[in-house]
Amino acid sequence: LESFEDHRGQYVETYNEKYVYSIEVEEDHSYCLNGFASKNSEGIGYPIMEAMLFGKPVISSSCGGNMEFTNSDNSYLVDYQLTPVYNMPWIPWYSGEMWWGEPNLYQISKWMRHVFEHKESAAAKGKIGQKFILDNYNSKSAITKFVETIETAMSQVRGEK
C-alpha cells in the first residue's frame, strides 16, 4: 500500500506499479458505523486496516495477522477458541489437522451493542485506530522497519548480537 500519510482523505492501492484510486471503498466506509471482522483467522487483515484508516471503530477477532496493528486501545477485540479447521473441502490446503480461532459470538454481539449504544466512545476508539494506522503504516515507517530488518540480518550474518 502507498503511504496513507501522503494521501489523507483518499485510499490508494498500488497494483503493478500503477496507482488505483478507490472511491468505492471510501463510500462503503462512509455508510458504516463500524468495521467488523469475525473470521476464524485473518491473514494480514487489510479490510480491518481500511476501516481503521477511515476512523471506524473495529470489532475483530484477537486471532491472526491483524494483531500486528489491532489492540485493546484501538479496537474491540473478540476472544477466540482454537478449533480444527472445518467445512472447507474445496480448498485443498486446509485440513482438519490445522487449527483456527473460533470467535466468541456472545462477545461479538456485546461489542456490537456497545458500539451502537455508545457512539461517542466508539468514535473516539475509531480515531485512536486511525491515528495508529497513519502513524505506523506509512512510507517512512515502512522504510525504517525495512532498514532495521536488513541491519539485524546483516549483524546475524556477521555473528554479532
Instruction: Answer whether 0.85 is exceeded by the pTM.
Output: no
The three-state secondary structure class of 66 is: helix
18 pLDDT band, cuts 50/70/90, is: very low
pLDDT of amino acid 34: 62
pLDDT of amino acid 46: 84
As a dihedral over the C-alpha atoms of residue 147, residue 152, residue 153, residue 158, rounded to 10 degrees, the angle is: 130
Hey, which residues does 57 pair with through a beta bridge? none
pLDDT of amino acid 142: 85
For residue range 44-78, list pLDDT tens digits in order: 788 888 889 889 999 999 988 899 999 999 999 99
C-alpha distances in Å from residue 99, one per residue of 27, 61, 79, 94, 142: 35, 15, 15, 9, 31
Task: State yes or no: pLDDT of 2 exceeds 60.
Answer: no
Mean pLDDT across 114-130: 95
pLDDT of amino acid 132: 96
For residue range 145-154, list pLDDT tens digits in order: 899 999 999 9
Query: Which of the residue ranges 29-33, 40-44, 87-91, 141-145 has the most confident prediction, judged by mean pLDDT?
Result: 141-145
pLDDT of amino acid 127: 95
pLDDT of amino acid 1: 38
The count of C-alpha atoms lying within 13 angstroms of the C-alpha of 135, restricted to the half-sphere facing its C-beta, is 8
Q: Regarding beta strands 18-21 and 76-78, do their DSSP bridges make them parallel or antiparallel, or are they unpaired? A: unpaired
Quick one: which H or E segment has residue 101?
A: strand 99-103
DSSP symbol at 135: H
Task: State yes or no: pLDDT of 10 exceeds 80.
Answer: no
